[in-house]
């Protein structure tokens, strides 16, 4: 779903639209309904998308990522009228404005945003309105203005995409490679904090457990109490361990955000940052584990198994029919055999009776012949 604006700006709107749909909670039930209609096909379409594993969509919450990935499949598989219908349900006022407009300008986007939200929208939410307007403009066959303000909207989207692709506000790897002085300052502060508070990544899950620094201990306990508020323990972070570079990253962020140091002591920031950093690592691990084990990722295998089961059921049904047919044939042959046996038995009885009668006649005839001979020849043997 690419978009070209002038000669210099080209933007693929697909990830922005997937994000907009995924973050619009009104559409979640509709996305689920459409996705379940042909989930295997939509999953395969999403998996083939270059945006499926892109940080633009995977850096969000797990729930948003699930809906964003499902939406990728829908964007590839739905026909244009279905997509228009989906966008209309999520942004009815935007649809109304775009459908009535002869040409779309940046001012229309401002009009499409409810007044109650204009001052509170985040950049991502504002980008959602922008992309929905642009996509509906294309789908409804409307023209779009080429004035500088409208053109700047495309540049806004392009900048967001570049940021998601790696142009981060803070990148410690870049500091390590290019800013030697900042790296050394971060390393020095990190080592200083570790020595002062008895903090060491080599302690693993107990990185803060043995600290004797009074302020570090108070902050540690305060954060551990937060786990209690959700009925959890710090053990959920057991697989989220830090190393020396992680602590240097924390020190570098402190130096960047508190250049004058002021009254905010670095030890306090470091304890808080250690908890946050470990929580972020743990959350990322949960997301990886989820996608490795969720049923969604084995849809093709399940679909194959379902097809095999269907084939086996058909074969089983055919065997049942064949067996029934053979039983019917057997019963029919049994009847034929019994009928033939009865007929042959009856014929045999008649033959035997007829032969017995003939034997009796022959015996009688023989007796008569002997008597006749005896009368003629008194000395005939047998008399």
pLDDT at 108 over 70: yes
Q: Which of 164, 197, 219 is the last residue of a domain?
A: 164
pLDDT band, residue 7 (cuts 50/70/90): very low
Helix or strand run (H / E) with residue 230: none
Strands 103-104 and 143-144 come out as parallel
Residue 259, classed as helix, strand or coil, is coil
- 307 to each of 41, 310, 314, 359, how far by Cα in Å? 14, 5, 10, 75
- Whether 41 and 50 have beta carbons less than 8 Å apart is answered as no
- Whether 198 and 212 have beta carbons less than 8 Å apart is answered as yes
Average pLDDT, the chain: 84
- 249 to each of 175, 184, 237, 239, how far by Cα in Å? 10, 11, 19, 19
Q: In total, how many domains does the chain have?
A: 3
Residues 228 and 328 occupy one common structural domain: no
Range of the domain at 49: 2-164
What is the distance between the alpha carbons of residues 100 and 206, in angstroms, rounded to a whole number? 63
Mean of pLDDT values over 266-292: 91
Residues 70 and 135 occupy one common structural domain: yes
Hey, CA dihedral for 108, 113, 119, 120, is it positive or negative?
A: negative
Residues 197 and 212 occupy one common structural domain: yes
Q: Can you state the angle between helices 266-293 and 62-77, rounded to 10 degrees?
A: 40
pLDDT band, residue 164 (cuts 50/70/90): low
Residues 211 and 99 occupy one common structural domain: no
Residues 308 and 285 occupy one common structural domain: no
Chain segment 334-357, per-residue pLDDT in tens: 888 778 778 877 877 878 888 787
pTM over 0.95: no
Find the range with the poorest average confidence among 64-78, 118-132, 257-271, 298-312: 298-312
Q: Which of 293, 316, 332 is the last residue of a domain?
A: 293
- Whether 274 and 208 have beta carbons less than 8 Å apart is answered as yes
Residues 107 and 179 occupy one common structural domain: no
pLDDT of residue 3: 47
Mean of pLDDT values over 25-46: 92
- Whether 93 and 109 have beta carbons less than 8 Å apart is answered as no
Residues 15 and 137 occupy one common structural domain: yes
Residues 136 and 8 occupy one common structural domain: yes
pLDDT at 75 over 60: yes
Q: What tokens does 187 get?
A: 């390393």
pLDDT of residue 4: 43
pLDDT of residue 104: 85
One DSSP character per residue, 264-301 reads S-HHHHHHHHHHHHHHHHHHHHHHHHHHHHSGGGGHHH
What is the distance between the alpha carbons of residues 123 and 164, in angstroms, rounded to a whole number? 13
What is the distance between the alpha carbons of residues 200 and 217, in angstroms, rounded to a whole number? 14
Q: Can you state the angle between helices 123-139 and 148-164, rounded to 10 degrees?
A: 120
Q: Is residue 182 part of a domain?
A: yes
Mean of pLDDT values over 311-316: 82
Residues 303 and 343 occupy one common structural domain: yes
- Whether 239 and 278 have beta carbons less than 8 Å apart is answered as no
Q: Which of 164, 195, 221 is the last residue of a domain?
A: 164
What is the distance between the alpha carbons of residues 142 and 124, in angstroms, rounded to a whole number? 24
pLDDT at 285 over 80: yes
Tell me which residue of 25, 13, 328 sits closest to 153, measured CA to CA: 13
**What percent of the chain is modeled with pLDDT above 90?**
32
**What percent of the chain is modeled with pLDDT above 70?**
90
Residues 178 and 151 occupy one common structural domain: no
What is the distance between the alpha carbons of residues 143 and 102, in angstroms, rounded to a whole number? 7
Q: Is residue 79 part of a domain?
A: yes
Chain segment 144-155, per-residue pLDDT in tens: 888 888 888 777
Q: Is residue 382 part of a domain?
A: no
Residues 155 and 33 occupy one common structural domain: yes
pLDDT of residue 6: 40
Residues 285 and 333 occupy one common structural domain: no
Mean of pLDDT values over 270-295: 89
| Higher-scoring residue by pLDDT: 284, 294 | 284
pLDDT at 30 over 90: yes
pLDDT of residue 167: 58
Q: What tokens does 338 get?
A: 């019994």
Q: Can you state the angle between helices 80-90 and 123-139, rounded to 10 degrees?
A: 140
Mean of pLDDT values over 200-219: 89
């Amino acid at each position: 779903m690419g978009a070209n604006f002038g000669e210099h700006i080209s933007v693929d709107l697909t990830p922005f639209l997937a994000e907009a749909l995924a973050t619009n909670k009104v559409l979640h039930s509709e996305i689920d309904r459409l996705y379940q209609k042909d989930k295997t096909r939509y999953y395969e379409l999403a998996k083939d998308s270059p945006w499926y594993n892109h940080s633009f969509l995977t850096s969000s919450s797990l729930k948003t990522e699930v809906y964003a990935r499902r939406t990728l499949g829908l964007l590839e598989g739905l026909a244009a009228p279905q997509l228009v219908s989906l966008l209309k349900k999520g942004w009815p006022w935007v649809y109304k404005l775009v459908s009535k407009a002869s040409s779309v300008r940046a001012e229309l986007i401002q009009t499409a945003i409810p007044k109650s939200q204009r001052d509170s929208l985040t950049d991502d939410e504002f980008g959602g309105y922008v992309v929905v307007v642009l996509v509906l403009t294309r789908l409804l066959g409307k023209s779009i203005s080429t004035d500088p303000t409208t053109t700047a909207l495309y540049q806004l989207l392009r900048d967001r995409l570049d940021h998601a692709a790696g142009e981060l506000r803070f990148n410690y790897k870049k500091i390590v490679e290019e800013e030697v002085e900042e790296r050394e300052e971060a390393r020095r502060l990190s080592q200083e904090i570790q020595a002062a508070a008895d903090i060491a990544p080599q302690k693993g899950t107990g990185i803060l457990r043995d600290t004797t620094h009074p302020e570090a201990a108070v902050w540690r306990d305060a954060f551990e109490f937060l786990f209690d508020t959700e009925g959890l323990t710090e053990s959920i972070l057991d697989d989220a361990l830090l190393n020396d570079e992680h602590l240097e990253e924390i020190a570098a962020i402190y130096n960047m955000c508190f250049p004058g140091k002021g009254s905010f002591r670095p030890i306090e920031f470091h304890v808080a940052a250690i908890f946050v950093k470990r929580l972020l690592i743990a959350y990322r691990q949960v997301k990886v584990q989820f996608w490795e084990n969720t049923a969604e990722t084995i849809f093709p295998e399940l679909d194959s198994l379902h097809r095999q089961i269907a084939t086996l059921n058909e074969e089983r049904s055919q065997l049942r029919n064949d067996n029934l047919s053979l039983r019917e044939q057997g019963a029919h042959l049994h009847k034929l055999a019994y009928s033939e046996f009865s007929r042959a038995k009856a014929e045999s009885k008649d033959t035997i009776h007829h032969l017995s009668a003939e034997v009796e006649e022959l015996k009688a005839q023989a007796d008569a012949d002997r008597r006749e001979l005896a009368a003629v020849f008194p000395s005939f043997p047998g008399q």
